[in-house]
Structure 1
Amino acid sequence: MQKCFLGALLLAVSGCSMIPAYQSPELPVASTLGDRYLRELPQAAGSGQTRDVSELGWAEVFTDPVLQDLIETALANNRDLRETALNVEAYQAQYRIQKSKLLPTVSGEGDGSKLRTLYNSSHVTSESYSLQVGVTSYELDLFGRIRSLSNEALEQYLAMEESRKTAALSLVSEVARAYLSWLSDRELLHISQDTERVEQESYALVKQRVDGGVATELELAQARSSLEAVRANLAMYRRQVAQDYHYLNLLTGTSLSEKVLPEQGMLREFQPLAAMPQSLSSEVLLQRPDIMAAEHELKGANASIGAARAAFFPTVSLTASAGVSSDDLSGLFESGSGAWMFAPSISVPIFTAGRLSAELDVAKIEKEIYVARYERAIQTAFREVSDALVAVDTYRDQLQAQQANLEATEHYFQQARSRYEEGVDSFLTLLDAQRSLYSSKQSFLTMKLAQLENQVNLYKVLGGGWH
């Protein structure tokens, strides 16, 4: 019996597989990513050798110490990321459960009884003891059905692990964007405060000129209108700074002390990213965790076809046990008290009304669905990277033009104020200059924020290391 069972076990473990040979789909995109924009990506620091973007940890890219502390806190405390990590552990446990079915479950059982009866006015005592070890309904995986299901569970677990990396990468990028938004809104708040002082001075100057009969009430009303508009923006930026702070608290999963955030520091001087690799090809997309997750899902669907194919073939199950029994506990392990049982069974699908064929068709169709999802994920990634590379070029040119506009507007304001104080130009000219300067400062910071956010986004869409 022992030899038969061991032989059956070896046969089950070495059973054939009906999983189709897996071939990764060809890239449905061009072989290179935005060639004419690559020249704008700075060479990686060092000897000039390029590194895979996925090898760059976030701490190598986001070099600002405050931002690094925020990211580290978020990775340790963010609740959404914690939930994703727990889902990974759950999928890993499901894989272990499925994998365990490749080997038999051995169980042991022991029982004993003692019965006392009255027979012919006398008491008769009988005892019975038994101990057995056995395997119940162990399916021999002759055609790879269980192994196919195990492979499918493994790929699902690996896909979830890549999804966790995607979530971590998204969290790192989102913390960086939130911090940049906080810096931007705080600087806009300071600009509005400075502008309010200038508008207040202008209003006082116009009022003085009105009292002196030099200016009109219309000019005073215009000065008051401009002052109140700035005050409205001032309230808005106070709100946005507070909301940015609250969002950082949410992302980091903790209540940040205001001492954590810098009291000084301006967005225009902020350099959040280290140098990125210069040369890129479409192959870099395959390193993105969301693309890798999509391919693992595709491999899992491919494995499910093997399980659906194996269902057409007979299922062989084994039930076996060996044990000892005795009327006396002390004689339980004496010779002659042993017993064994070996009961193989076979189940052959004869008529299923097309169910097995339909299940195989479903498995094949689901694989094609995952192929389409995989290709769409690559095409989406290609578009995201291409857009980010285009933006590297255009944001730089746009920011340079905005900087020149700001300098020209500052000169315009200084000239307009001097000429108004000298009585050469009207207050309308000064008012226009003040509004233009305020608007130009806002536009410059908005553009600077967009440029920095694009750099963060470029790191994310290239699948930069989340670790």
Structure 2
Amino acid sequence: MTGKKRTGRKILLAVAVTLGVSGCSLAPSFLRPDVPLEETWIGTALEAQQEAGSHAVRDLGWRDYFRDPQLQQFIALALENNHDLKTAALNAELARAQYRITRSDRLPAVDGRATATRTRTAEDLSYYGTASTDNAFTVGLDITSYELDFFSRVKNASDAKLNAYLGTLEARDAAQLSIISAVSKAYYEMRIAHKLMVLAEDVSKTREDAWKLTKLQVDAGTASETTLQGMRSAIELARADYQAQKRASIQARNTLSTLIGQPVTRLTLEKALSLMDQFPEQPLVAGLPSEVLLARPDIREAEYALKAANANIGAARAACFPSISLVGSVGYASTDLDNLFDSDNGTWTFGPRLNLPIFNYGKLRANVEVMTVSEKIAVESYGKAIQNAFADIDNALAGRETLEKQVKATIRSDEAVARRLYLVDMQMREGIVDGLTLLDAERESFNSRQNVLRTGQMILNNNVDLYVALGGGLKEFTTQTQPAVQAEKPMKKPVL
């Protein structure tokens, strides 16, 4: 066998070994942590969940779920102008650029090179004893440094950056859901506060009328001064409540202005929809926890963080082993520019470089420990995210079930209180009862109507919580390929 054939086989063998070894990764195998959870949401029927499917809520666009045109206007402005959402999007762009930088390390860095030099050699330094002027022209390509990724250090570092980037995309989606929730609740807070203002104003006028009637009775000697002062106290309390609700309305409006990135007072607003018709008739239905939870952006973000931590362990472990980098160039060189590209003027260099971690091995091992502990922290964060998400959804489902019963009882109670106030008012006009009895009945009615409005706000917020908790809000319009909601008995609308 000739020497050239032996050399060729050695080169092929070296290439094969290099390719084979480069597939060896020291990163731990990724296994999704097992977080102990209930197999179904507490208090819900498993059969109904299976019928609903796991993509129903996620495919329901926020414009189809939040039916109020004015609220849709606020949400659209917030998604366009909110500073937190913009920051989350910029973080995603930053992570994408960092990933591209790291990914480029997996390919050789090739630079073009062209030089032209003119050198004069002094007579005393000349080999021929006479001064001379020489030209040198070179052109070619250089490989500055290319690491042979024997233990997948570069690949794992690239994978870590990729998962970090994907995590920022999920963080951006989670921020969008959070903003939609905040805008909706601030909007409902503003609307309910306004209704409570109107209620307090009406009650104040009613109490003033009762005070005037009582004043006539005092002047006639049929009522006492004590009753009159009680009426005056009730009037001032209603006025104080009006100011409190006015403050709450202004604060909610300011919160909305912050969320949408511009003053609400400068907007030309769409006509608002009744608070009783804010959502579709059919309630949202959750799927199986094992499917629904993995569709949430915060859970996916935690999972990407765990995958990134896994890859960082592999990169840190690989750094403890020797690495080989290749440096080389190919091109042409000549003293005459016209003859630069002649075949005999071709040049090339090739030189591998071996890096052995010796004196910094302790530092590298400590870095492995750091990455290992970071991976354990990521596991705990993932488990916490899963449990928190489960609690969010289950609390929202439990809230829907209990609030429906609560609002029915509240409405029945308010109807009874209103009937009592009517009867007491008739009795007072006939002189059967005094003003204090009427004042007591009127206070009870005021508190009851306030309670109805606040219970209605809780129902509105609960609908928002359930929609966002199930992953709704990432799409503007409903996906038509699947049903967005499961037909069931509609939830009782708040009487607002």
TM-score by length of 2: 0.85
Post-superposition offset of 1:358: 3.0
Post-superposition offset of 1:198: 0.5
Indicate the residue corresponding to 1:399 in structure 2: 407
Query: Whole-Å Cα distance in 1 between the matches of residues 47 and 283 of structure 2?
Result: 10
Post-superposition offset of 1:93: 0.7
1:190 alignment partner, one of 190, 198, 202 = 198
Post-superposition offset of 1:277: 4.4
1:144 aligns with 2:152: yes
Post-superposition offset of 1:373: 1.3
Query: Whole-Å Cα distance in 2 between the matches of residues 136 and 224 of structure 1?
Result: 89
| 1:17-46: CA deviation from partner (whole Å, max 9, x where unpaired) | 222221112232121111x235999999xx
| One-letter amino acid of the counterpart of residue 345, structure 1 | R
Indicate the residue corresponding to 1:114 in structure 2: 118
Q: Alpha carbons of 1:51 and 1:148: their partners in 2 closer, same or farther (altered >3 Å)?
A: closer
Query: Whole-Å Cα distance in 1 between the matches of residues 210 and 88 of structure 2?
Result: 56
Pick which of 397-406 and 201-210 moved more. Answer: 201-210
1:301 aligns with 2:305: no
Pick which of 146-155 and 318-327 moved more. Answer: 318-327
1:232 aligns with 2:236: no
Secondary structure of the corresponding residue to residue 25 of structure 1: coil
Contact 1:91 1:160 in 2 (8 A): yes
Q: Alpha carbons of 1:40 and 1:418: their partners in 2 closer, same or farther (altered >3 Å)?
A: farther
Query: Whole-Å Cα distance in 2 between the matches of residues 39 and 260 of structure 1?
Result: 43
Query: Whole-Å Cα distance in 2 between the matches of residues 118 and 345 of structure 1?
Result: 37
Indicate the residue corresponding to 1:37 in structure 2: 44
1:415 alignment partner, one of 423, 426, 433 = 423
Paired residues for 1:282-297 under 5 Å: 282-283=289-290, 284-297=292-305
Q: Alpha carbons of 1:348 and 1:433: their partners in 2 closer, same or farther (altered >3 Å)?
A: same
Paired residues for 1:127-276 under 5 Å: 127-256=135-264, 257=266, 259-260=268-269, 262=271, 267=275, 269-273=276-280, 275-276=282-283
| One-letter amino acid of the counterpart of residue 460, structure 1 | V
Paired residues for 1:11-26 under 5 Å: 11=18, 15-26=23-34
Contact 1:282 1:382 in 2 (8 A): yes
* Number of matched pairs: 457
| One-letter amino acid of the counterpart of residue 269, structure 2 | V
Secondary structure of the corresponding residue to residue 223 of structure 2: coil
Contact 1:320 1:340 in 2 (8 A): yes
Query: Whole-Å Cα distance in 2 between the matches of residues 32 and 406 of structure 1?
Result: 36
Q: Alpha carbons of 1:87 and 1:390: their partners in 2 closer, same or farther (altered >3 Å)?
A: same
Query: Whole-Å Cα distance in 2 between the matches of residues 118 and 189 of structure 1?
Result: 99
Pick which of 352-361 and 185-194 moved more. Answer: 352-361
| 1:273-314: CA deviation from partner (whole Å, max 9, x where unpaired) | 553443532111111111111111111111112112222322
Post-superposition offset of 1:261: 5.6
1:80 alignment partner, one of 72, 79, 84 = 84
Contact 1:399 1:448 in 2 (8 A): yes
Contact 2:284 2:467 in 1 (8 A): no
Post-superposition offset of 1:56: 2.3
Pick which of 243-252 and 348-357 moved more. Answer: 348-357
1:317 aligns with 2:325: yes
Secondary structure of the corresponding residue to residue 22 of structure 1: coil
Query: Whole-Å Cα distance in 2 between the matches of residues 365 and 372 of structure 1?
Result: 11
Contact 2:49 2:288 in 1 (8 A): no
| 1:113-160: CA deviation from partner (whole Å, max 9, x where unpaired) | 33568979x996433222231101211111100001111111111111
TM-score by length of 1: 0.90
Query: Whole-Å Cα distance in 1 between the matches of residues 191 and 47 of structure 2?
Result: 26
1:463 aligns with 2:467: no
Query: Whole-Å Cα distance in 2 between the matches of residues 308 and 258 of structure 1?
Result: 54
1:98 aligns with 2:102: yes
Q: Alpha carbons of 1:29 and 1:111: their partners in 2 closer, same or farther (altered >3 Å)?
A: same
Query: Whole-Å Cα distance in 2 between the matches of residues 97 and 9 of structure 1?
Result: 28
Indicate the residue corresponding to 2:484 in structure 1: none
Indicate the residue corresponding to 2:65 in structure 1: 61
Indicate the residue corresponding to 2:443 in structure 1: 435
Pick which of 161-170 and 202-211 moved more. Answer: 202-211
2:350 alignment partner, one of 342, 353, 358 = 342
Contact 1:187 1:266 in 2 (8 A): no
| One-letter amino acid of the counterpart of residue 190, structure 2 | W
Query: Whole-Å Cα distance in 2 between the matches of residues 42 and 306 of structure 1?
Result: 40
Pick which of 51-60 and 70-79 moved more. Answer: 51-60
Q: Alpha carbons of 1:153 and 1:42: their partners in 2 closer, same or farther (altered >3 Å)?
A: closer
Q: Alpha carbons of 1:42 and 1:341: their partners in 2 closer, same or farther (altered >3 Å)?
A: closer
| One-letter amino acid of the counterpart of residue 154, structure 2 | I
| One-letter amino acid of the counterpart of residue 371, structure 2 | A
